[in-house]
Amino acid sequence: MIRAEVAIIGAGPAGTAAALRLGQLGVRDVVLVDRADFPRDKTCGSGVSPRGIRTLRELGVWDEIAPQAYRVAGLRLVTPGDRELYLSGGDRTAAIVCRRRTLDHVLLERARALGVRFVPNFPVAELRQEGGRVVGFVGRDGREVAARQTIVADGAHSRFTVDRRPPRLMHAIMGWWEGVPFTAHHVEMVFDRLVTPGYGWMFPESDSRVNIGICYEDPELRLNGRRVFQDFLDKHYARRLRGATPVGAFKGHPIACAFRIGRLGSPGRLVVGEAGRMVHPATAEGISQGMRSGVLAAETLAPVLAGLRDERSVIATYESRCRRAFGLSFRAARLWRAAVNSSALDRVVAAVERPAVKTALGRLMATM
Ligand SMILES: Cc1cc2nc3c(=O)[nH]c(=O)nc-3n(C[C@H](O)[C@H](O)[C@H](O)COP(=O)(O)OP(=O)(O)OC[C@H]3O[C@@H](n4cnc5c(N)ncnc54)[C@H](O)[C@@H]3O)c2cc1C
């Protein structure tokens, strides 16, 4: 039996950010478990937006992440009507692409340096409950963790989330290549009818390596993801992939998102990151939201654990902080999706010779 003040299930960006922030706030006896050992890979485009960079700075890990990440200064956008647009910000770092093997591990190691105890190879089988309160969890091998507070950060397939609504799922499939030509320091987002309201992307991970993927909706599971991906590659990347070398096999993974943030807690339990469906429903961005919700959970719990605040308000406070952080941008996703599904995005891009339109579109893409 491991005893802890706070026990966290899952060491992705949400769980590690929560652990790190708890450590920074002086909370002792924090245990973080994951079914995997680290460093580990995670199927992900690994793009981190300006908001995510802000959180990395706040968490004090930016100086370690930046040299290991690929700097993004601009975007190549392709519309459903096949219009192409470059939005470039010069030397400024607008975003980064940082492989998850690196990003998650840096966050984890920083949390460990602050005293967080990490237990790898710990697949959680069930939560322990007493009198309607979550009091820890049990591993598949029978190991137990008893905790005053449990943070659930187990990602898209979450088994321990509170929200019982059927998740809105996007499907994603991606691959990696060496030697694809691209405009340095630019990511690509391709809105094609094959996948709208989702999109395809190409994100450079280094000077020579890129990842390319698609995310799309298919509520009735009628599509063959590999075939759609191949059609997408043939249409948009065939020429550039001709001299490139694939790295490993294609990987698929669902993405759980929501337009509206639902329930994120029950007595003794807070849910963070994709387990709480805090992924942007238009861009499928979840790293930044995962880290931010982890920070918000830690900042909500710390004063309660220190006896400075009543526990009864914890869930409502945390939920309202998450709604404030993500509500507007998640709701705006509906407008973006409508623009992509209609000819509106094409019309905006057609009007982009006007500098004001270009600036506004650049800002929108950066803040969405
Ligand atoms: C193909 C694809 C591309 C994407 N591209 C981007 C992108 O470019 N930018 C972006 O911001 N987002 C992207 N996302 C979304 C992003 O990957 C996720 O939203 C983000 O990882 C969520 O972080 P998290 O910490 O909530 O969960 P995760 O990162 O999924 O971490 C969950 C952790 O919990 C562990 N775990 C799960 N179950 C258990 C259990 N029972 N016991 C113990 N441990 C457990 C897992 O091993 C894992 O380490 C992409 C997603 C996909 C699928």
Asked whether 43 lines ligand 1 (CB < 6 A), one says yes
Average pLDDT, the chain: 95
pLDDT at 343: 84
pLDDT of 368 over the 70 cut: no
DSSP 116: P
Asked whether 276 lines ligand 1 (CB < 6 A), one says no
pLDDT at 342: 84
pLDDT of 365 over the 80 cut: no
Q: What is the pLDDT of residues 216-264, one digit of tens each?
A: 999 999 999 999 999 999 999 999 999 999 999 999 999 999 999 999 9
> pLDDT exceeding 90 applies to what percent of the chain?
88
Cα-flanking dihedrals φ and ψ of residue 351, to 5°? -90, 5
pLDDT at 150: 98
> pLDDT exceeding 70 applies to what percent of the chain?
98
Q: What is the pLDDT of residues 314-329, one digit of tens each?
A: 999 999 999 999 999 9
Q: What is the pLDDT of residues 74-119, one digit of tens each?
A: 999 999 999 999 998 878 899 999 999 999 999 999 999 999 999 9
**The domain made up of 2-43+100-161+261-335 is a member of CATH 3.30.110.30:** no
pLDDT of 353 over the 80 cut: no
Nearest CA to ligand 1 atom 3: 44
pLDDT at 360: 74
Q: How many CB atoms lie within 10 A of CB 207?
A: 9
DSSP 167: P
pLDDT at 216: 97
pLDDT at 95: 96
pLDDT of 50 over the 70 cut: yes
Residue 120 preceded by cis peptide, ω within 30:
no
pLDDT at 153: 98
Nearest CA to ligand 1 atom 6: 45
Cα–Cα distance between 47 and 52 in angstroms, integer? 9
Q: By C-alpha distance, which of 262, 273, 325 is closest to 34?
A: 273
Q: How far apart are the first and last CA of the chain?
A: 44
pLDDT of 170 over the 70 cut: yes
State which of 2, 35, 43 you would mutate to test the pocket of ligand 1, scoring each by most atoms of that ligand within 8 A of its C-beta: 35
Burial 215-250 (b: 16+ CB within 10 A, else e): bbbeeeeeeebeebbeebbeebbeebbeebeeeeeb
Give distance in angstroms: CA of 47 to centre of ligand 1. Answer: 13
Asked whether 205 lines ligand 1 (CB < 6 A), one says no
Report the atom number in ligand 1 closest to the C-alpha of 254.
Answer: 53
Q: By C-alpha distance, which of 187, 253, 196 is closest to 225?
A: 253
Give distance in angstroms: CA of 182 to centre of ligand 1. Answer: 27
Asked whether 251 lines ligand 1 (CB < 6 A), one says no
Q: By C-alpha distance, which of 69, 344, 324, 54 is closest to 207?
A: 69
Asked whether 139 lines ligand 1 (CB < 6 A), one says no
pLDDT at 351: 83
Asked whether 153 lines ligand 1 (CB < 6 A), one says yes
Task: Over range 330-349, report the average pLDDT.
Answer: 89
State which of 34, 126, 163, 271 you would mutate to test the pocket of ligand 1, scoring each by most atoms of that ligand within 8 A of its C-beta: 34
Model pTM score: 0.96
